[in-house]
């Protein structure tokens, strides 16, 4: 990571390793999140996503490497940095007997930049009761309240740890729609981990994928979606040229179907596909884009084969 990248990045992780005893939660992870971007960190349970977030928030110290928010160390400067960061944890957490009205009033005293009208409008829009104890709110209402409070101080950075986990489809859709609108209006930088790949696909500008502590990829959504494709084609006998040109697109999975061959490739390009289409023995080739979920499944399967 260059010095310029670090200076421009809202979040910068350089060779970060996190351990719990003998268990490695994050293994030499390097990534950066530029100002105004929305970075989605994906991975199965236990991949190391939450451990990285805890270190970003200064809640624990990494065993190796460096972490910077706005160019400062969150472990050493946590109090100052957290004034610029809004957090939506995996499990909504607040004093169980406090109401939304009481929580908003309490939080408003902690920040000079507090947007009380925005918080109240958001809670009204999502019909979060003002005077019901937090413990009696639904999961969706708790998430919307937590998001409203996180956005209340108009943070420069919003960090969300799997915020839609356990929500039904309607609540997930409402949450992401609200988040999209807020980020577009404010230009806030966001870092989120999530299992909701469909929701992430509509909001993220950059994607990272983790597995067992390692970062498998880190790139823009546009680049990721551009280089992954599902190829379908027929084969008319064996052809070394067909095999060579398919290999040039780095197939992750090739399967024989009753109607022909299906392949997922991670190195698609117009020129490479044209070479493959023109190879002897290849018939009726077609290339289709993949959803983020399809890409994640393909990468997860690829990594599983290596273990």
Per-residue pLDDT, 298: 87
Instruction: Using the Cα atoms of residue 293, residue 146, residue 187 and residue 60 in order, give the sign of their dihedral.
Output: negative
Instruction: Using the Cα atoms of residue 1, residue 7, residue 68 and residue 76 in order, give the sign of their dihedral.
Output: positive
**Same domain (yes/no): 75, 97:** no
DSSP 188: -
Per-residue pLDDT, 6: 44
Instruction: Determine the straight-line distance between the first and last CA of the chain, rounded to whole angstroms.
Output: 28
Residue at 200 is within a domain? yes
Cα 49 to Cα 3, 29, 56, 102: the distances in Å are: 25, 11, 11, 32
Burial of 102 by CB count in 10 Å (0-12 exposed, 13-18 middle, 19+ buried)? Answer: middle
Per-residue pLDDT, 224: 94
Q: pTM, whole model, 2 decimals?
A: 0.88
**Same domain (yes/no): 199, 261:** no
Residue at 34 is within a domain? yes
Residue at 301 is within a domain? no
**Same domain (yes/no): 42, 164:** yes
Task: Read off the CATH number of the domain in which 271 is found.
Answer: 3.30.70.260
SS3 2: coil
Transcribe 230-268 into DSSP letters.
EEEEEE-S--HHHHHHHHTT-EEEEEEETTEEEEEESS-
Residue at 220 is within a domain? no
**Same domain (yes/no): 161, 65:** yes
Residue at 66 is within a domain? yes
Buried b (16+ CB within 10 A) or exposed e, 8-29: ebbbbbbebebeeeeebbbbeb
- Could you give the number of structural domains in the chain? 3
**Same domain (yes/no): 147, 161:** no
In order along its 307 residues, the chain shows pLDDT tens digits of 444 444 578 999 999 999 999 999 999 999 999 998 999 999 888 889 999 999 999 999 999 999 999 999 999 999 899 999 999 998 888 999 999 999 999 999 999 999 999 999 989 988 999 999 999 999 889 999 999 999 999 999 999 999 888 888 888 888 888 887 777 677 889 999 988 888 889 889 999 999 999 999 999 999 999 999 999 999 887 678 889 999 999 999 999 888 889 999 999 999 999 999 999 989 999 999 999 999 998 887 654 443 3
Per-residue pLDDT, 169: 85
Cα 44 to Cα 213, 217, 236, 243: the distances in Å are: 10, 14, 40, 33
**Same domain (yes/no): 164, 31:** yes
What's the domain range around 243? Answer: 229-289
**Same domain (yes/no): 102, 188:** no
DSSP 133: B
Q: Which of 250, 281, 283 is nearest to 264 (CA)?
A: 250
């Amino acid at each position: 990571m260059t010095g310029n990248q670090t200076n421009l990045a809202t979040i910068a992780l350089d060779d970060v390793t996190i351990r719990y005893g003998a268990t490695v939660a994050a293994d030499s992870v390097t990534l950066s999140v530029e100002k105004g971007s929305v970075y989605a960190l994906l991975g199965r349970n236990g991949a190391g996503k939450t451990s990285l977030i805890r270190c970003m928030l200064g809640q624990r110290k990494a065993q190796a490497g460096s972490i910077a928010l706005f160019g400062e160390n969150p472990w050493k400067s946590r109090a100052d940095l957290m004034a610029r960061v809004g957090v939506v944890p995996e499990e909504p957490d607040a004093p169980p007997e406090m109401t939304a009205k009481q929580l908003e009033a309490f939080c408003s005293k902690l920040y000079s930049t507090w947007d009380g009208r925005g918080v109240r409008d958001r809670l009204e829009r999502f019909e979060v009761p003002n005077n019901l104890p937090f413990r009696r709110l639904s999961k969706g209402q708790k998430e919307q309240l937590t998001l409203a409070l996180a956005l209340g101080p108009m943070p420069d950075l919003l960090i969300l740890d799997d915020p839609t986990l356990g929500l039904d489809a309607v609540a997930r859709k409402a949450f992401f729609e609200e988040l999209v609108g807020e980020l577009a209006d404010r230009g806030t930088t966001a870092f989120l981990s999530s299992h909701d790949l469909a929701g992430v696909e509509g909001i993220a500008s950059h994607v990272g994928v983790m597995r067992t502590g390692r970062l498998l990829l880190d790139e823009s959504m546009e680049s990721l979606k551009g280089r992954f494709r599902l190829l379908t084609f027929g084969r008319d006998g064996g052809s070394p040229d067909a095999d060579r040109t398919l290999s040039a697109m780095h197939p992750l999975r090739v399967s024989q179907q009753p109607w022909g061959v299906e392949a997922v490739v991670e190195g698609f390009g117009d020129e490479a596909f044209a070479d493959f289409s023109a190879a002897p023995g290849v018939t009726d080739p077609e290339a289709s884009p993949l959803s983020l979920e399809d890409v994640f499944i393909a990468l997860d399967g690829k990594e599983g084969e290596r273990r």
